[in-house]
Amino acid sequence: MPRRSILLSIVAVAVLGVAVTVWLVVFGSRSVSLAADGVEVTFDRSAFAESADPVLSVGTTDDEFVEVCGLPGPGPAPGVATLRAAADPVEPVEIAFDVFLDALPDEAAPAVFHRDEITGHWLPVPSVVDGGRLVGTISHVGDYVAGVLTAVPEVWRGIQWLRFQVGIEPADSTCTADAPAWLLDLTADDRMVRACAEADDGSGLMLRVAPAGGYALTLDTPSGTVTATPGSDSVLTWAAGELPAGTVTIDAVPTAESALHDTVLAGALVLGELAGAGFDAPALSACLDAAGGDVDAAVGCLDPYVEAGGAAAARVVSAIRTGATLDTAGRPAPVAAAALQSPGEVVLELAAVLEPPDDATPLHHALLGWQAGRSGNDVAVLIGDVFAIDSTTQWVGCEDVPAVAYYALDGHTRFTGLLGARDYMPDNIVAAVRLLVDNTVVTEFEAGIEPVEIDVELPAGDMLVIEAHRIAGECGLAPDGYLVWGAGALSGR
């Protein structure tokens, strides 16, 4: 076998930072490699004209897309590779990035991205994973970066790479009233779904959900499956107590077809911008409906824009087709399918709901009168981590006499509920509470900021009398009583 020699030449270049280009030319071979900071460009000698003088450099950038989507490597993380030459190659060229892929979720779709010099957008090129390298096939000089179409779920989802760059912002769901108190918290994955909540019919929950993208979502709710369509809210309602206490998760899942259509929609907005005009929404919608899930047919809906947009438009369309059919690690991995593996979520944190027993009379229904402070109002309130409906307010006398409320027993022999403090009661208030039937004391206790469970057997009589008198703390102005009988009720006959 003839001995072959290797010629190495090192050239230092400063672009976007400090980088080094290493030329590796193997005599007896037509292959040429340029290497710099974990990036290698490989091409046949005939790919560039002799006078093109291709040079590779790697540096850093504060570009938002690179910061969000860039993959770390051994050099500046993430590094932007710049391939410069007097002219574009006339044959395909491979660019390989050394990247760390172990931390990526299963649904991640790594790809090499090229910054289009006309639109400024980062567009994916056909890419494969080869061991610890991400290899892209390129046909232009310019800037390249190793990125991921679906990065860690809380940062990046599905096929939003083009929408992210175009700056498409969906309208938020709009709620005009406060949420019911038994909804303790609401979070939504706002890269896929938007949600807000308000009270419905007093203490019910009205949840408004809208897709964050241009595609429909299937919402898997405790009450069944609902389809949320772009441009409007889907309204879900539940009465207090209808949902279980604790965490309730609603998955928001796009269909592969609708996700593909969203990619084409984002592309149409870019192409319309390039052509100096908008796009024909009804015509595009009709074309996509006819295309269904066929990638070629759906991307073909952009044909009317390509002629007006010229070469830049053709590159955008090519990138959309690549993004919809990207092959990763030797396996077909459509970007739309990647979105399906990591659905968006709306997460509700709900309080337990307490209500009077079915055969009981809410305490406020039996009110006869009051003195030294208004008691007996009907309210629904959060007491600790319990939402109590059909509750009854209790004034606390802060002067020399207690506040008193009178209730008709009407033969009832049991009083139940959860005595709690209203959210505006000062933390240092302590009240002495007495329950009497007619003039006989049945029980007495102290009540403060901590809830007290009530279950009292009552003797026969005509009237339940409840007294509450401050014995510690400083009173202040208040819109209603400091205490409340949560789901307070009279029962047993």
pLDDT by residue, tens only, the chain of 493 residues = 222 222 222 222 333 333 444 445 444 457 888 988 889 999 988 889 888 889 999 887 777 777 767 777 765 556 789 999 999 899 989 999 988 777 666 656 677 888 877 667 777 777 888 888 889 888 889 999 888 754 333 333 334 455 555 544 555 677 888 888 899 999 987 667 889 999 887 778 999 988 876 567 788 899 888 888 776 788 999 988 888 889 999 988 776 676 667 667 766 766 665 555 555 667 777 888 888 877 778 888 888 777 666 666 676 676 666 555 443 333 333 333 344 445 678 999 999 989 899 889 999 999 999 999 999 999 989 998 899 989 999 999 998 899 999 999 999 999 999 999 999 999 999 999 999 999 899 999 999 999 999 999 999 999 999 999 999 999 988 899 999 999 999 998 6
Tens of pLDDT, residue by residue over 198-216, are 988 777 899 998 887 656 7
Determine phi and psi for 43, rounding to 5 degrees: -155, 160
Tally of CB atoms within 10 A around 378: 14
Tally of CB atoms within 10 A around 192: 24
Residue 493: which of 382, 361, 375 has the closest Cα? 361
Q: In CATH, what is the architecture of 1-156? A: Sandwich (2.60)
* Assigned CATH for 352-491: 2.60.120.1060
Cα(70)–Cα(60) distance, integer angstroms: 11
Q: Model's pTM, two decimal places?
A: 0.52
Tens of pLDDT, residue by residue over 165-196, are 554 455 567 788 888 889 999 998 766 788 99
Percentage of residues in the chain having pLDDT higher than 90: 33
Measured CA angle at 195 (ends 189, 197), to 5 deg:
135
Residues paired with residue 128 on neighbouring β-strands, in sequence order: 135
Cα(230)–Cα(169) distance, integer angstroms: 12
Domain boundaries of the chain, sorted by first residue? 1-156, 157-349, 352-491
Largest Cα–Cα distance in the chain? 118
